[in-house]
Structure 1
């Protein structure tokens, strides 16, 4: 990952922001891959262990190695995942182990890897199968989309902070181009949509205050009056139900080769 200091360090805070929604995507992702049992898996950018946990629960692996450049995330994953088939190590996508592995996966990681094609080539070298998923930042990841659309309204000078603008490859076509450039054949993609339901606006907004992730780190960088203005603009845009709940969806795009 390429991130600012402190942007990716607290597993618990990140879990409340998008980790919990990633777990829903991971279930459909692993089901789609439909891999045989007793295989060796590598989870690149394992974060809080959401994808690793899903592999252990649903794919009956022989082993899963999760790697992430954040020591804080790796420690959180170690505390949360209690399975002798799982192990974790502090490594970046540029420092992957030699393997070999039957399956190499990366969930919500590729957009934070500076040299994406090179990383995918390395995954191809060490893995018989490679698959990833990323959020649809420009459109279908609604909890982030409402935030960045409000940001463009109240702070248009910061428009380039929008993850939809920064990560334009996070589409089926963009992922297929990356995989093809990395030498993969028969690349397949699919859409994964999961519900993201919040009990109240506070339930939605509180994770943005933790500084873990691109949008929360950006929010923390603002002066307090600007944070308040952005919060109010987001609240005005959200489809808040009569009971105060907010029912959104999150779309991810997956690719495998």
Structure 2
């Protein structure tokens, strides 16, 4: 099963809305000086790039995105002459050596087939003394909306275990991230937790995004037979706690990382 990342409204309902909460926290932690050229690798629908434009006072921001529909959504979401989107991937960035002061990525690095190659390419397009940084979800523990889904799915279907992002992406923990950046030659490497609330109005608000097919868990969900999907839905419905208003209040943790380019 391949991960689908194409339909921007479905992506927004599933992950985009929560990524938009992480982005400002990430930029506050990054504490970058105003100005400078930024590159957002795998910019998607623009959650991080748009936040850079609003809050970091950049000279310009270039988003790099392989999905045409996501790129179009990113452009449409930012009426700003400082912003442009180029087609490309993390392993082959359409940019000159040392073109940017800061290269960032949100929820991307674990999906790059060879993360070390992706970081090497990000380093290539960053000037000496510049910063490469980003964040990934803590799939093993802190990303509760996905953790609850896979815990239930694995109980019902042994085959779900190999699709669980905590199994597929062991990189998304502090030590592996730190080691990867250090091995890639970055200095001043740091990893930091970023927590955001993920509050759902009711169970349908939680469940409906899993029917959109965008990403590993929704892709698995939509591949199930009607009966198996209903069984999974009912198990989650029974397990997730509501408050007195019927809301499901969860949290999502991302691990932010950064390193300095020294050449």
Greater mean alpha carbon deviation, residues 13-22 or residues 90-99: 90-99
Query: In the alignment, which residue of structure 2 is the partner of 1:105?
Result: 104
Indicate if the aligned counterparts of 2:63 and 2:86 stay in contact, CA closer than 8 A: yes
Indicate if the aligned counterparts of 1:66 and 1:89 stay in contact, CA closer than 8 A: yes
Q: Answer yes or no: is 1:121 the counterpart of 2:120.
A: yes
Superposed CA offset, 1:92-115 (max 9, x none): 112202341000001000111011
Greater mean alpha carbon deviation, residues 102-111 or residues 29-38: 29-38
Separation of aligned partners in 1, 2:2 and 2:69:
14
Separation of aligned partners in 1, 2:86 and 2:59:
17
Separation of aligned partners in 2, 1:16 and 1:163:
19
Q: Answer yes or no: is 1:27 the counterpart of 2:7.
A: no
Q: Answer yes or no: is 1:4 the counterpart of 2:2.
A: yes
Separation of aligned partners in 2, 1:151 and 1:90:
35
Query: In the alignment, which residue of structure 1 is the partner of 2:87?
Result: 90
Measure how far apart 1:64 and its partner are: 0.4
Report how many aligned residue pairs link the two structures: 254
Measure how far apart 1:242 and its partner are: 3.1
Measure how far apart 1:181 and its partner are: 1.7
SS state of the match for residue 188, structure 2? coil
Separation of aligned partners in 2, 1:68 and 1:256:
21
Query: In the alignment, which residue of structure 2 is the partner of 1:51?
Result: 48
Superposed CA offset, 1:110-154 (max 9, x none): 111011011101111211210010000000000000000000111
Q: TM-score, normalised by structure 1?
A: 0.96
Q: TM-score, normalised by structure 2?
A: 0.94
Query: In the alignment, which residue of structure 2 is the partner of 1:252?
Result: 254
Correspondence for 2:136 among 126, 134, 137: 134
Indicate if the aligned counterparts of 2:150 and 2:160 stay in contact, CA closer than 8 A: no
Separation of aligned partners in 2, 1:214 and 1:158:
10
Indicate if the aligned counterparts of 1:154 and 1:233 stay in contact, CA closer than 8 A: no
Measure how far apart 1:243 and its partner are: 2.1
RMSD: 1.2
Measure how far apart 1:71 and its partner are: 1.1
Query: In the alignment, which residue of structure 1 is the partner of 2:178?
Result: 176
SS state of the match for residue 136, structure 2? strand
SS state of the match for residue 61, structure 1? coil
Q: 4+ residue stretches of structure 1 with deviation over 3 A?
A: none
Query: In the alignment, which residue of structure 2 is the partner of 1:77?
Result: 74
Indicate if the aligned counterparts of 1:176 and 1:189 stay in contact, CA closer than 8 A: yes
SS state of the match for residue 77, structure 1? helix
Correspondence for 2:218 among 216, 219, 232: 216
SS state of the match for residue 188, structure 1? strand
SS state of the match for residue 255, structure 2? strand
Structure 1 spans left out of the alignment, 5+ residues = none
